[in-house]
Structure 1
Amino acid sequence: MAENSAIEWTDATWNPVTGCTKITAGCDNCYAERFSERFRGVRGHPFENGFDLKLRPERLDQPLRWRRGRMIFVNSMSDLFHKEIPTSFINRVFNTMEAADWHTYQVLTKRSPRMRDYLAARYADRAPPSHIWTGVSVEDCRGAARVEHLRAAPSAVRFLSVEPLIGPVGDIDLSGIHWVIAGGESGPNARIMHIDWAREIRDACRRQGVPFFFKQWGGFRPKSGGRELDGREWSEWPQMQRVIG
């Protein structure tokens, strides 16, 4: 767990799983893979095996030991709903989140059908906890199905991470969505985000009454282009506000 995250929309990260495999164009320049692979073969390093998928049960109790409440991005270095992660392990992650309910958790995936089905089964006979937020990554209009899957999932707060934004999202329906984050790609091979793509998402949020958070323009470094869109920063949050410790 990282006690202080540089990600603008969270406070900390928790990685009970690391490693992943690419499934969309948004994964092409994955920052987590780039970071992890630097240490492949370094004996004793947490990423000795690079970005290979790895369960880390020794980290499952970390939020329980972190007593001051905060916003926690779950699996910033993986995807909790990867097909090779056993459901029994996902259960253990959710058990921890439910027990350590003084935190707020942000669970983000590109494997939206599995998340939808898992949440429907877990919360079939009870309301989903208000402190567990669930979201999907959408990089362009080809991610529309993921939005539909998220909308069908029982969740107190549903959010979209429209980053890296590599193309227009089109006429997006935000009904049942409580928050939208948008941002450009960063890193040595960052693809350019056009201003009209960002405006299209912001304007859809404003028309449909959904809080909009503009994370970054991106570039070689995450903060290269700053955070302003049309002369201001957009840092809106859903009504269930972030945890302040």
Structure 2
Amino acid sequence: MADHSKIEWTDATWNPVRGCTKISPGCVHCYAETFAERFRGVPGHPYEQGFDLKLIPGKLLEPLRWSRPKMVFVNSMSDLFHKDVPEEYVRAVAGVMRETPWHTFQVLTKRSERLRELLNGGLREFAGEAHIWWGVSVENRKHGLPRIEHLRETPAAVRFLSVEPLLEDLGAVDLEGIDWVIVGGESGHGARPMQADWVRGLRDQCKESGVPFFFKQWGGVRKKAAGRELDGRTHDERPGPSRVAMATAEERAALIRGWERRAAAI
């Protein structure tokens, strides 16, 4: 967890789950795995088990403890819809999000089929919350475009796409029902290149469809040097955050006491 984040499109990260497994080309150079595996075997470190998947009930209450509203990237170091995360635990995470509507939560997954199943089933009561944004990762046509269809088949109030790392020209993308598109290139050692016309194609389609477009980065080995300007400007559009007033300290304390009992039972 971090109550602040260097990720350009969010304010904070929240990780009630740690670890994941690779399922598609977008996972090849996973930044989260690279970070976590540096600490495998370090006694007492949060990532002593490296990137092995692990539930962290002690992290469930963090959004209740923050002193101001935030945009929150949920599970930047995992995937909430991983097959090994029990549905009961996913419901607990969603329950905390529902009870903290002054924050805006950004939930991103590559497991779009499970997302579709749960938002149409056991998580349906949470799907319509306007301060919880549900999104899928899109890296190429083969794996990414079907995820968009799965997302569109949910009753989510806000749907978004994280097109990062963009590995090829996606061509025409159906943006019906999509509320936000983030695009970015891969960064770090071995980063696969992204062509400017691939990005322009998505930018132009977003403009035509009236969908907010956020260009995160060009990426590459020297991410900072490459910057994030596209055709001479930055693109920072996104839906507006929650406007729900933050609960008082006393109200949050009461919620924390209730959730402490629930978290202890998980």
Aligned to 1:147: 148
CA offsets, 1:129-161, max 9 Å, x none? Answer: 111000000001121110000011111110000
Q: Give the conservation status (yes or no) of the 8 Å contact 1:214–1:233.
A: yes
1:13 deviates by 0.1
Q: Give the conservation status (yes or no) of the 8 Å contact 2:98–2:126.
A: no
Is residue 2:209 matched to residue 1:180? no
Is residue 2:97 matched to residue 1:97? yes
Aligned to 1:2: 2
TM-score by length of 1: 0.95
- Give 3-state SS (helix, strand or coil) of 1:129's partner: coil
Aligned to 2:109: 109
CA offsets, 1:141-183, max 9 Å, x none? Answer: 1211100000111111100000011111111000000000000
What one-letter code is carried by the residue in structure 2 that aligns with 1:191? R
What one-letter code is carried by the residue in structure 2 that aligns with 1:30? C
Q: Give the conservation status (yes or no) of the 8 Å contact 2:13–2:76.
A: yes
- Give 3-state SS (helix, strand or coil) of 1:198's partner: helix
CA distance in 1, matches of 2:94, 2:11: 19
More helix by share: 2
Is residue 2:44 matched to residue 1:44? yes
CA offsets, 1:64-100, max 9 Å, x none? Answer: 1113111000000000000011001101100110111
Show the 5 A alignment for 1:127-146: 128-142=128-142, 143-146=144-147
Q: Give the conservation status (yes or no) of the 8 Å contact 1:104–1:243.
A: no
- Give 3-state SS (helix, strand or coil) of 1:32's partner: helix
- Distance change in 2, residues 1:127/1:226 (3 Å): closer
Identity of aligned residues (%): 60
1:242 deviates by 6.2
1:22 deviates by 0.4
Aligned to 1:58: 58
Q: Give the conservation status (yes or no) of the 8 Å contact 2:159–2:179.
A: yes
Q: Give the conservation status (yes or no) of the 8 Å contact 1:70–1:243.
A: no
CA distance in 1, matches of 2:126, 2:157: 12
Q: Give the conservation status (yes or no) of the 8 Å contact 1:14–1:74.
A: yes
| Larger Cα-atom Rg | 2
1:128 deviates by 1.1
What one-letter code is carried by the residue in structure 1 that aligns with 2:136? V
What one-letter code is carried by the residue in structure 1 that aligns with 2:121? A
Aligned to 1:192: 193
Aligned to 1:208: 209
Q: Give the conservation status (yes or no) of the 8 Å contact 1:69–1:243.
A: no
- Give 3-state SS (helix, strand or coil) of 2:186's partner: coil
CA distance in 1, matches of 2:125, 2:75: 27
What one-letter code is carried by the residue in structure 1 that aligns with 2:95? N
What one-letter code is carried by the residue in structure 2 that aligns with 1:23? I
Q: Which moved more, 1:50-59 or 1:215-224?
A: 215-224
Is residue 2:76 matched to residue 1:85? no
1:120 deviates by 1.3
Aligned to 1:156: 157
Aligned to 2:16: 16
TM-score by length of 2: 0.88
- Unpaired segments of 5 or more residues in structure 2? 247-266
CA distance in 2, matches of 1:153, 1:212: 22
Q: Give the conservation status (yes or no) of the 8 Å contact 1:12–1:72.
A: yes
Q: Give the conservation status (yes or no) of the 8 Å contact 2:131–2:241.
A: no
